[in-house]
Amino acid sequence: DTEVTQTPKHLVMGMTNKKSLKCEQHMGHRAMYWYKQKAKKPPELMFVYSYEKLSINESVPSRFSPECPNSSLLNLHLHALQPEDSALYLCASSSAAGGPTDTQYFGPGTRLTVL
Amino acid sequence: AQTVTQSQPEMSVQEAETVTLSCTYDTSESDYYLFWYKQPPSRQMILVIRQEAYKQQNATENRFSVNFQKAAKSFSLKISDSQLGDAAMYFCAYRRLYNFNKFYFGSGTKLNVKP
């Protein structure tokens, strides 16, 4: 059973559309992450929020815009995407305590297709 | 920079048999954490097992165990009594001791389980 939820499961959008991906966790975690994953490849880190502040932006194009309204929610706003942005977008969360149990827990992902 | 290498893109194992997945990493740090994640087809990524580098004892979780060789910078995963549900992509990951934000993932190994 997943404790990190993501909506929608699938999304098809045109290059001129604006859409948003949503992620939610109720584990009391204070760090949340967005990853992009292509087929048969490892996840690539995009953004990290720590205590609701953006702490890492891995040089992601501005057509991706993250938002962390509160410690449980993470959004990824999409605008003017390119077909090469089609991928599985994974959300993850972790406690941010920094110790050995500070493990990332992943959501099921949103499968994005850009036409 | 830390790098994680999984040299086996794909492996197969017969049901009920044992298989070992390899992972090596490169780091100049003495303390860190290592993880194995499993990603079944079209399902979410889940943590299989983790190892703290300062612990000499190899981690074990039911049918999953690791062979951690710190000097050789090797972290292999052994799956005993393989089951059909073990079929998945397996990713090895490295995390620095005090930096919880970033995981360094290997390229992954696809495990097939034959009935």
Count of beta carbons in the 10 Å neighbourhood of residue A68: 19
Extract the tokens encoding B47.
Answer: 């943590």
In this predicted model, what pLDDT tens digit does every residue of B19-55 receive, in sequence order?
A: 999 999 999 998 899 999 999 988 889 999 999 998 8
Mean pLDDT of chain B: 93
pLDDT for B91 equals: 97
The answer to whether A49 and A55 have CB atoms below 8 angstroms apart is yes
Q: Phi, psi (5° rounding) for residue B85?
A: -70, -5
Q: How far is B27 from chain A (nearest CA, A)?
A: 18
pLDDT grade for B67, boundaries at 50, 70 and 90? very high
Tokens, residue B26 = 């490169």
Q: What is the pLDDT of residue A23?
A: 98
Output the pLDDT for position A56. 86
Check CB contact under 8 Å for A40 and B110.
yes
**For residue range A26-64, what is the model confidence (pLDDT) as tens digits?**
999 999 999 999 998 999 999 999 999 998 888 899 999
Percent of chain A at pLDDT > 90 equals: 78
For residues A95 and B32, is the Cβ–Cβ distance under 8 A? Answer: no
Residue type, A75: N
A1, pLDDT greater than 50: no
Structure confidence at residue B101 as a pLDDT band (50, 70, 90): confident
Tell me if chain B has a CB within 8 Å of the CB of A87: no
Minimum-distance CB partner of A40 among B35, B37, B108: B108
d(CA A55, CA A21): 19
The percent of residues in chain B predicted with pLDDT above 90, rounded, is: 82
Tell me what the mean pLDDT of segment A85-103 comes to: 87
Q: Count chain A–chain B contacts defined by CB atoms under 8 A.
A: 53
- Whether the pLDDT of residue A97 is over 80: the answer is no
Test A41 with B108 for CB contact under 8 angstroms.
Answer: yes
Share of chain B above pLDDT 70, in %: 99
pLDDT at B6 over 70: yes
- Give me the residue from A42, A96, A106 closest to B44, CB to CB: A106
Q: Check CB contact under 8 Å for B98 and A98.
A: yes
Q: How far is B55 from chain A (nearest CA, A)?
A: 11
The dihedral sign for the CA sequence B97, A29, B49, A87? negative
A3 touches chain B (CB under 8 A): no
Q: Which chain B residues are within 8 Å of A41, Cβ to Cβ?
A: 107-108
Contacts of A62 (CB under 8 A, 6+ apart): none
pLDDT of res. A95? 87
Query: How many Cα atoms within 13 Å fall on the side-chain side of residue B31?
Result: 8
Name the band, by pLDDT with cuts 50, 70 and 90, for residue B1. Answer: low
